[in-house]
Amino acid sequence: MTMQLRIKHTTGYHYEKGAMASFNEARMTPMTTSEQYVLRSRLEISPTPWSYEYRDYWGTTVTSFEVHDPHADLTVVATSIVDTQEHAPKPLTIEWEDLTDDVRDEWCEYLVLSDWVGPSSQLVDLLEPIRAQSARPSDYVSAVVELLHGQVAYVPGSTEVTTTAADAWDAKTGVCQDFAHLSLGALRLAGIPARYVSGYLHPSPDPVVGEPVEGESHAWIEWWDGEWVGWDPTNAIAPGPRHVVVAKGRDYADSPPLRGIYSTAGTSELFVGVEITRLR
């Protein structure tokens, strides 16, 4: 199956007392990969800033921009058209002994148990027997994502963007970011390199051509099995043509859609809206 998706992602800030200046980074431009091809992508920013684009350490396209004039609102609109396709199944072949020192050195950054992904002690107690009973890393991954999907409820709005994996496990609720962080921590605990992937997911299993729908940013994971293998732990599915990759990294901190600093005497309010349309 192939699809062509148009994503319109609108985000920004309203400043209660206005901002004198702001500096931001936007990660809202999809990647071109073996499973998706970006036909076009445009970023519109208001007020008009000074900006430049670069590729960060993790391979994500970043638009860095500065606004030096007083402004009450900052609005960023990213519009992209992406051709996607079904992901070819990948053979899961590695054994535990294949996770050598060379592998750990090459992917060391995807093995760090940061505060974002570090599992709680209660979860560690459950993971240890799963590791002991898993003949291969792929068996461990399957058991872990099944455990998490069964124990943690997906509840929109139940956590904050700053919630850690340990917090989400204790609350037994979370959103896609939390499911990704929980999975990453569990896999890294066993020595399996795993990375955070963010982007978009069309919410319908069978999208109607030409029908705009409300979407949202989404997060899932990739883990190393001789090559990178994707999994969407929130929905318990492998990524497919409904998924659009924007950024990759160690955790959410490496891939927020919009992040920056500003000068204001008051507070600010973030607004976000995502519209996804299947074009064919």
Dmax of the chain from CA atoms? Answer: 61
State the pLDDT at residue 161.
87
Instruction: Note the CATH architecture for domain 96-254.
Output: Roll (3.10)
- Selected from 3.40.50.2000, 3.40.30.10, 2.60.40.2250, 1.10.10.10, the CATH number assigned to the domain covering 2-86+256-278 reads 2.60.40.2250
For 129-142, the pLDDT digits (tens) are 999 999 999 999 99
Chain center to CA of 234: 11
Whether this model's pTM surpasses 0.85: yes
Asked if residue 109 lies in contact with residue 250, where contact means CB atoms within 8 angstroms, the answer is: yes
- Token pair, residue 132, equals 């002991």
Sequence ranges of the chain with CATH classification 3.10.620.30: 96-254
For 173-228, the pLDDT digits (tens) are 999 999 999 999 999 999 999 999 999 999 999 999 999 999 889 999 999 999 99
Between CA 198 and CA 180 the distance in angstroms is 10
